[in-house]
Amino acid sequence: MKTLLRSGFAAILVCAAARNARAQDLAAGEPDTIRTWNGLARDAVRTAKAADVDAARTYAMVDVAIFDAVNGIVSRGPFGRTPALVPPDGAPVIASLPAAAAAAARAVLAALFPDQAARFDAQFAADLAALDHRPGVDRGAAWGAAVGAQVVAARAADGSRPVETVPAGSGPGVFRAAWSNAQFRNLVPFAVQDPAAFVSPPPPALDSVEYAGALNEVEVLGNAALPDPGLLATFQFWNLAPGTDQPPGEWVGIALEVAGSRRVPFLDEARLLALVSMALADVVAPTFQSKFLYAHWRPATAINEADTDGNPATEADPAWKPRGGGIGGNPQHTSGHSAFSAAAATVLAGFFCRDDVAFAHQNDGAPGGAPRFYTGFSAAALEAGRSRIFGGVHFEFSNQAGLVAGRAVGAEILAGSLLRKAGPTHFGSCPL
């Protein structure tokens, strides 16, 4: 018993010392490490013109590395939180948390984007210079680099490579073009137990009333021949094509904005970003399993060829084009934008113990750079999902399926990830 008490007291001293070191860093005006390195990750995705699925994996790897680096320093014995991937074994007792976070993120980004390494090296040098004379900077940097390397090694064979292309299909209801990145249906999850549990039910039968209703809705709301600046602006805001930070990057940005406005402490901010980014990554596999399984055609093809669907309530319009201007690069069921948005919104609402947290957000797709204002996280997610119908690239049943899958993934991650190792882990539905 005395040994256990001494061990517990030592762990409390370690955590207190780490927090004191963090307080000294803050007083010295150290870099905003989590925001800075997530910004670099988003810029790297933009520069590489990465796909949304690659972007989600990138953000998860960066934020898992950051969390495990700082969590390892403050976690001892039964204290602290369970790691996302890398246990705290070998972590220094006293070390700079910002140095550890920066080194972990740098290791991940340099491995994923070696052609951009000079940018990462320059930022890392600037971070360490800003932390000069703070205790444990070298120890924190060495530990963070080791954690980042372990994250890279652990994800080296996670199903994201090699690229797999599915040949074009044919016939009513089938997506017609060849599409790539189908291998992401096998992406190893960061936190959920079984991605297959979140695969969407099949789309409604082509000859059903539900299908006809969905087709007729998108035929009007997503019709390029019916100008509507409001619908177009909503689609453009959330579309986020290659060259942007992609939909996962915008939800990372929302998490950072809200955390900053609510003055979330450093350790909790690292946890929030890890939870959000893991949720964004873990909706990828079930979304792409659904796309691979159903290979469902996009609205443009469906409307152009409605005379082949066997449904008396639909009518072909060979001249119809989507408001968004593009058909879509892979099968439309399920909506990935909807799944990303619901997963992130669910985690954010759970983390803050309320959904109605108002915020403004300006993103890479905003027409004219204008921000949009939201009454809460789910309100933003619902708009993101509906934007796909306004752009003419998804049916509403696929939006709804994506929202359901995303909420379920977010809920599982909240319930079982990065929880305290001792004592109460939840208050009601909110993780502490």
Mean pLDDT of 341-346: 98
For 157, residues 6+ apart whose C-beta sits below 8 A from its C-beta are none
pLDDT for position 368: 81
pLDDT of 72 higher than 70: yes
Residue 265 phi, psi (nearest 5): -60, 160
Distance between CA atoms of residues 55 and 402, nearest Å: 18
* pLDDT band, very low/low/confident/very high, at 317 (cuts 50, 70, 90): very high
Mean pLDDT of 208-235: 97
pLDDT of 16 higher than 50: no
pLDDT for position 25: 41
Nearest to 298 by CA among 280, 324, 273, 274: 324
Of all residues in the chain, the percent with pLDDT exceeding 90 is 84
* pLDDT band, very low/low/confident/very high, at 311 (cuts 50, 70, 90): very high
- The overall average pLDDT reported for the chain is 91
* Domains of the chain: residue spans and CATH: 2-154 (1.20.144), 182-431 (1.10.606.20)
Predicted structure pTM score: 0.92
Question: Tens digits of per-residue pLDDT, 106-135?
Answer: 999 999 999 999 999 999 999 999 998 788
pLDDT for position 179: 98
pLDDT for position 61: 99
Mean pLDDT of 146-155: 98
pLDDT for position 432: 56
For 321, residues 6+ apart whose C-beta sits below 8 A from its C-beta are 223, 224, 225, 300, 392
* pLDDT band, very low/low/confident/very high, at 426 (cuts 50, 70, 90): low
Question: Tens digits of per-residue pLDDT, 369-398?
Answer: 889 999 999 999 999 999 999 999 999 999
Distance between CA atoms of residues 214 and 306, nearest Å: 13
pLDDT of 2 higher than 50: no
